[in-house]
Amino acid sequence: MSKTLWKKTLIHGTECLVPDCPDALNWLGKTKLNQGVMIEPRRPRNLQHHKKLFALLKIAVDNWPGDEPTTIEGLLGAIKISGGHCDVVQTKKGAWKIPKSINFESMDQKEFEPFYGHAILVISRVLGVAPEDLEREANYFN
């Protein structure tokens, strides 16, 4: 079964989970009444927060200091590694750090929040601006 979205609601004063997408509704329709099901609860990440991260990265790339340009992908990879969001592979010649994904399946909102905070600090240091000013600018473009 593919991932489905559900939402919490009140039905006759009782808190319930109800389907919030066609796949979930279809799946529920195929489930017998009183049949037990196993659910792995997970709150989806805030899409606006994710978009705000990419607004920050674009601001950083557009205002990158120095002669060497950077890319959003390169900067994101560097932030992942500097924040420890990476796998470390040991080789005979030393360790390689490989950035992990921050996609919605790999990182929930609870994990994303400190990652985002780290990204703001890194970008504000590189650009020489206060984190709160950078945050305000990202809100403007998001």
DSSP conformation class of 7: E
- Whose CA is closest to 115, among 54, 39, 31? 54
Residues forming beta bridges with residue 90, ordered by sequence position: 95
Averaged pLDDT for residues 116-126: 96
In order, the DSSP letters of 107-118 are --HHHHHHHHHH
| Res 113 pLDDT > 90 | yes
- What Rg do the C-alpha atoms of the chain give, in angstroms? 20
Q: Structure tokens of 93?
A: 């010649």
Q: Where are the domains of the chain?
A: 1-41, 47-141
- What is the rounded CA–CA span in Å between residue 106 and residue 3? 13
Over the stretch 33-55, which tens digit does the pLDDT of each residue have? 999 988 887 777 898 999 999 99
- Please report, rounded to a whole number, the percentage of residues in the chain having pLDDT higher than 90: 72
